[in-house]
Structure 1
Amino acid sequence: MAGRAIRTVTVRGVTFGEGTPKVIAPLTGGSPEQLRSQVDALLDVRPDAAEWRVDHFAPLTDTAAVTATARELTDRLAGLPLLFTCRTRAEGGRADLDDEAYGELTTAVVRSGHVDLVDVEYRRASEVVRRIVEAAHEQGVPVVASNHDFSGTPSRDEIVARLREMQDVGADICKIAVMPHSAADVLTLLDATRTMREEYADRPLITMAMGGLGLVSRLAGRVFGSAATFGMVGTASAPGQIDVAELRSVLEVLDRAV
């Protein structure tokens, strides 16, 4: 689509910000054994990247266990990029961590060198966000700044403002997910994506409306400027995710048309 020049992000040969939206599949196992099983299933369908939702991991507060598991996952994924995400309850996840604990865990994993991208909830304490971003960039790890609104859909201008704030904190990819309560809410999210992409973005965006109502945003994001989408392999990590194979088939149809 038309818009500003985008500074793409490439990890392990996968480039975000050009071509067909990349498909990211979550890993949500609570134990290393469950994660191994999920990785094996994921490799059968080969998404473009995997997201480790560490907030589902039982030893979440054991940093050594988390970093060791990140290393095992990276090895087992055999070249597939790994996005590390600790989603807190405030943004729809399971982790009960204060800002400092969240920052310490995320920074430690980034510095371990065992992840390819890191998700940062950009509305955490500004100093914590700054430390994570600096540590990630020191390691050459791109940052996905994120915001999740499970209560509703902000206005178009507010969505754009949040995405611009993510650029300002140094994110390499800016992500927002909202909860629609009407078709108009889905249109708001898509129009905000278009506005951001055409007028302000200089790096890739990932946007989506969650739930069944918002499914169209996961399928047609490329038309409006979204660079990636999330699909499931067995277990969803957010409302509205569909199977990776089904998702790919729709993306391929749209790819031929755009």
Structure 2
Amino acid sequence: MKIVSIRDIHVGEGVPKIIVPLMGKNVEQLLLEVNTIKQAAPDIVEWRADALEEIDNLEVVKETLSTIREALFPTPLLFTFRSHREGGNKRIEDTYYKELLENVIQTKAIDLIDVELFSSNVIEIVETANANGIYVVMSNHDFEKTPAKEEIVWRLRRMQELGAHIPKIAVMPKVPTDVLTLLDATYTMKSLYADRPIITMSMASTGVISRIAGQVFGSDATFGSGMEASAPGQIPAEELRKMIEILHTN
């Protein structure tokens, strides 16, 4: 198993890591969030840049990133622009998605970059990340349904094939058995195919158990909310840590 190590955080080893999102619309809101979530001692902080009002201005993005990085260091930082088709806040062209991610990667002010599996420039972005020493969290989000187990496993395996350091998938359950499908797929991926950490979750209130107990089936990290949740079903990070540590120690 390849471990993703960022300073003293080792994803894929020990207790599952807790990732907390920043959802502010501007620098002032983001700094307020940073100061608040520090109290929860997240393992990794995710900047959901699709919430930024001036996301179409690369200079503003880079200046904001620099400010966040300075305020958070040494906590590892994951940069994410979640596309509108996968539940994000803004619509942008695929060409700008590539330009945005590559510009952010080249600042080297982040530790990890989220790259969506079905983006049209996924291979080029992964190459840029590798050239700059940035880890790739390759992701897929289905807000409509939970695909069949075989499809979930295929998507995770495809991410691994494309060079993801951490494959990640989130799906929406319609019924409780959909959560079992996601957890079964997680276990199959982890036990048969994965040679690196993976992150999986079932969303909304029905899927909350997957955010707490995903580690039992092979998920190496989970997302907890800070001041604002970035997806339905997220638990406040401080509460989530207590639950995960109880499961891990028992």
Band the TM-score falls in, shorter-chain normalisation: over 0.9
Residue 134 of structure 1 is aligned with which of 127, 130, 144?
127
1:91 equivalent in structure 2: 86
Cα distance in 2, alignment partners of residues 216 and 124 from structure 1: 29
Stretch deviating more after TM superposition (95-104 or 175-184) = 95-104
2-side partners of 1:68 and 1:130: how far apart?
27
**Structure 1 residue ranges without an equivalent (≥5):** 1-5
Partner of 1:214: 207
> Are 2:133 and 1:173 aligned?
no
Q: Which residue does the alignment assign to 1:52? A: 47
Alpha-carbon distance in 2 for matches of 1:189, 1:67: 36
Aligned counterpart in structure 2 of residue 13 of structure 1, from 5, 8, 11: 8
Separation (CA, whole Å) in 2 of partners of 1:54 and 1:186 = 29
Whole-angstrom distance in 1 between the partners of 2:101 and 2:90: 12
Shift in Å at residue 72 of structure 1?
A: 1.1
What's the TM-score, normalizing by structure 2?
0.99
Displacement of 1:169 in angstroms is 0.8
What does residue 137 of structure 2 align with? 144
Partner SS, residue 220 of structure 1: helix
Deviation at 1:49, TM superposition (A): 0.8
Matched with 1:102 is 97
Residue 22 of structure 1: how far off its partner (Å) = 0.2
Letter in 2 for 1:33: E
Task: Report the 3-state secondary structure (helix = DSSP H, G, I; strand = E; otherwise coil) of the residue aligned with 1:174.
Answer: strand
State how far apart, in whole Å, the 2-side matches of 1:45 and 1:223 are: 23
Letter in 1 for 2:49: V
User: 1:254 maps to which residue?
Assistant: 247
Find the aligned partners of 1:175 and 1:17 in 2 and give their Cα distance.
13
Which among 22, 27, 39 is matched to residue 17 of structure 2?
Answer: 22
Q: Which amino acid aligns with 2:217?
A: F
| Structure 2 match to 1:3 | none
- d(CA) in 1 for partners of 2:11 and 2:3? 6
Q: Distance in 1 between matches of 2:107 and 2:20?
A: 22
Shift of residue 45, structure 1, vs aligned partner: 1.5
In 2, the alpha carbon distance for the partners of 1:21 and 1:11 equals 14
CA distance in 2, matches of 1:168, 1:95: 29
Residue 78 of structure 1: how far off its partner (Å): 2.4
Q: Over aligned residue pairs, what C-alpha RMSD do you find?
A: 0.7
Distance across 1 between alignment mates of 2:10 and 2:58: 30
Calculate percent identity across the aligned residue pairs.
Answer: 48
In 1, distance between residues paired with 2:65 and 2:128? 17
SS at match of 1:144: strand
* C-alpha distance in 2 between matches for 1:191 and 1:223: 11
* Aligned position for 1:189: 182
2:150 maps to: 157
Q: 2:224 aligns with which of 212, 225, 231?
A: 231
Q: 8, 31, 34: which one pairs with 1:36? A: 31
Return the match for 1:118 from 109, 113, 126: 113
Partner AA of 2:35 in structure 1: D
- Compute the displacement of 1:11 (Å): 1.1
Task: State the Cα distance separating 1:98 from its structure 2 match.
Answer: 1.7
Q: CA deviation at 1:12?
A: 2.4
List structure 1 segments (4+ residues) > 2 angstroms apart after TM superposition: none
**1:245 maps onto 2:238 in alignment:** yes
Q: Give distance in 2, aligned partners of 1:12 and 1:109.
A: 20
